[in-house]
Amino acid sequence: MLGMVLPDTMSVYVRTGWNWIGYLPSYSLSVNNAFSGLVTNGWIQAEDLVKSRTGFAQYIVTPVYTGWVGSLNYMMPPNGYQLKLNKSGVSNAKLTYPLQGLKGEESPAANRGGNMPSFWTVDPSQYEKSATLIGMISANGVNLTGASMELGAFSGNEVRGSAQALFVEPLNSYLFFLTYYANDSGDPISFKLYNGDNGQICELNEAMFFAADNHQGSVDVPLPFTCSGLSNTEELSGLLSLDVRPNPFSQSTEIRFSLPESSPVSVTITDLSGKTVSWFEGSGLAGINALEWKGTSDNGVPLQPGVYFVKLKSDTGQAIRKVILQR
């Protein structure tokens, strides 16, 4: 009969720079617990990184909290990970995973956006390489990132990554922990901001070229993203608001929008492929307007469950909302 090998009797050796590491336990561990041995031995320092295919965390040292913060909270079998050590001279540091049940402090970064589905989605399996950044929406040096915001990375019109804002308790502010993808270095990357409070999308001024395993920004000094003309949260909210409640829904939902003045409006509902499934055109009044949608096409046929987009256009501008139909 074969005996079981305990993970605390096996080690992975790591060095300065990027390391590919296997995750040996058959159970999940928080990132803080998984690397507790490296921390105790002094191998981990501020701004070290660990990343999976879909998320990452950065090690921070502050007066109120020391530990890992980011979109990666737990390590799970049988996944592989990458660990970046910044401390110079590390050549044979021993990483030994602790036994299950070890108590420890969890990451103080939490999604405070109401657990809404991501507005943009990407399939990481379609890409060989990834890069990461920690960013914020900035105007005049002030962090304007809010709970309902999402940062999207694009190459042309192709979504390459997205990140909802995370609340970082030690900083009492929101940040984006974005992983984005490519198959080739040098791909041009641009960015957009989705504001869930009003459904608006803002083209951001920043752009860069993709470099595999590149990381930019830190929890202390996030990479600033800007939208032309933004100087405060009121301007960020904009004049045109769009909301869909309930969302997700099964029987019917209400599309509510407000206008600063009377205007012709059109409301178009499309599926994931961009095909229009329902459409309305009329006059909107200054103030709040509301339409009911029962999850049907224009001719009253019930639509299949899935993700749809509500697009509003008026003389003031346009806004878009992601809505989920459940049956």
Q: Tell me 19's DSSP state.
A: E
Structure tokens at 74: 């737990």
Residue-level pLDDT at 234: 45
- The burial class, CB within 10 Å (0-12 / 13-18 / 19+), for 229 is exposed
Residue-level pLDDT at 237: 45
Residues contacting residue 55 through CB under 8 Å, at least 6 positions apart = 70, 71, 72, 73, 177, 179
Which is more confident, 7 or 16? 16
Residue-level pLDDT at 106: 58
- Whether 297 and 308 have beta carbons less than 8 Å apart is answered as no
Structure tokens at 277: 């499934």
Q: 93 pairs with which residues across the strands? A: 14
Q: Alpha carbon of 47 to those of 80, 133, 221: distances in Å? A: 20, 12, 11
Given a cut of 80, whether residue 166 has pLDDT beyond it is yes
Place of tokens 């309930």: 246
> HEC profile for 84-124?
EECCCCCCCEEECCCCCCCCCCCCCEEECCCCCCCCCCCCH
pLDDT band at 8 (very low <50, low <70, confident <90, very high): low
Domains of the chain with CATH codes: 7-106 (no CATH), 111-237 (2.60.40), 241-325 (2.60.40.2550)
Query: What is the average pLDDT score of the chain?
Result: 86
Residues contacting residue 159 through CB under 8 Å, at least 6 positions apart = 120, 121, 122, 152, 153
Given a cut of 70, whether residue 113 has pLDDT beyond it is no
Number of CB atoms found within 10 A of residue 192's CB: 19
DSSP three-state, residue 276: strand
pLDDT band at 235 (very low <50, low <70, confident <90, very high): very low
Structure tokens at 249: 């829904």
Determine the Cα–Cα distance for residues 232 and 234; give it in Å rounded to an integer: 5
Residue % of the chain over a pLDDT of 70 = 88
Number of CB atoms found within 10 A of residue 87's CB: 14
Given a cut of 80, whether residue 190 has pLDDT beyond it is yes
Helix ranges restricted to H, the chain: 31-34, 36-40, 233-237
pLDDT digits (tens, 9 = 90+) for 63-93: 889 999 999 999 999 899 999 999 999 998 9
Place of tokens 């990407």: 122
- Whether 180 and 153 have beta carbons less than 8 Å apart is answered as yes
Going by their DSSP bridges, the two strands 188-195 and 173-182 should be labelled as unpaired
DSSP three-state, residue 37: helix
pLDDT band at 322 (very low <50, low <70, confident <90, very high): confident
Q: Tell me 235's DSSP state.
A: H
Residue-level pLDDT at 311: 86
- Whether 216 and 168 have beta carbons less than 8 Å apart is answered as no
* φ and ψ of 221, to 5 deg: -130, 80
Which is more confident, 304 or 139? 304
